[in-house]
Amino acid sequence: MSLTKEIVKEKLVSTFGEANISFDEPYGMLTFTVAASQNIEVMQYLYNEGFAFLTDLTAVHYPDRKNEELCVVYHLHSLVANVRVRMKAYIPVAQPDIRTATTLFSGANWMERETYDFYGVNFTGHPDLRRILNVDEMDYFPMRKEYKLEDPTRVDKDDEMFGR
C-alpha cells in the first residue's frame, strides 16, 4: 500500500490524537498544526514514516493572534512516496522558543539561523544560533510586522523622480 495524504492523516490522528492536531488542505497540500511542545515528536514520527527530507523551514508573523504571533512552518517530503506535508507550530512573540530540528535534519541548521535572524524564533538546542544574513548589531527582527508601512504620499519615490 502506497503512502497517501489520507494515510498520513490517519496515522497522525491515531498516534497523537485528534485533539492535538488540526488539519487543513490548502492548494492540495496536507497541512496540520501541532503544539510547539510536540514539534520534535511529530517530526520524528514522520521521519520514521519516510519523510526524511526537510524541504523548507520558515516562520510567519501574525501580529493579531494573541499568544500565537509567530508560526514556525516546516515542509517535509517523502521522496519514496512523493508526498509533501506542511507542519505548523504557533509560539508567542513574548517567548519565541521552540526545539531545534537539527537533531533530525542537519539541513535545518542554516534554515533555523535564517528564521531566527528575520523573525526572532529561538530554536532551543541549536548548535550555533546566531545571525546569518543581517549584522550582529541589529536589535530587531525585520520580517516581523511591527512597523508602519511607508507613507504612500511621499513624492521622492515616484517614478517621475527616476526618469520613468
H/E/C letters for each residue in 90-131? EECCCCCEEECCCCCCCCHHHHHHHHHHHHCCEEECCCCCCC
- Dump pLDDT digits (tens) for 30-86: 999 999 999 999 999 999 999 999 999 999 999 999 999 999 999 999 999 999 999
* CATH for 83: 3.30.460.80
The number of distinct structural domains making up the chain is 1
The total number of residues shown for the chain amounts to: 164
pLDDT surpassing 60 at residue 16: yes
Per-residue CA distances from 131 to 71, 97, 140 (Å): 19, 16, 11
Its domain, for residue 154, covers 5-162
pLDDT surpassing 80 at residue 156: no
Residues 4 and 125: their CA atoms lie apart, in Å, by 32
Average pLDDT value for the chain = 92
Q: How confident is the model at residue 164 (pLDDT cuts 50, 70, 90)?
A: low
Closest CA to 21 of 1, 36, 2, 4: 36
Residues 9 and 12: their CA atoms lie apart, in Å, by 5
* pTM score above 0.85: yes
- Dump pLDDT digits (tens) for 76-99: 999 999 999 999 999 999 999 999
Residues 28 and 44: their CA atoms lie apart, in Å, by 23
Q: What is the largest CA-CA distance in the chain?
A: 63
Mean pLDDT of 9-17: 92
Residues 86 and 45: their CA atoms lie apart, in Å, by 14
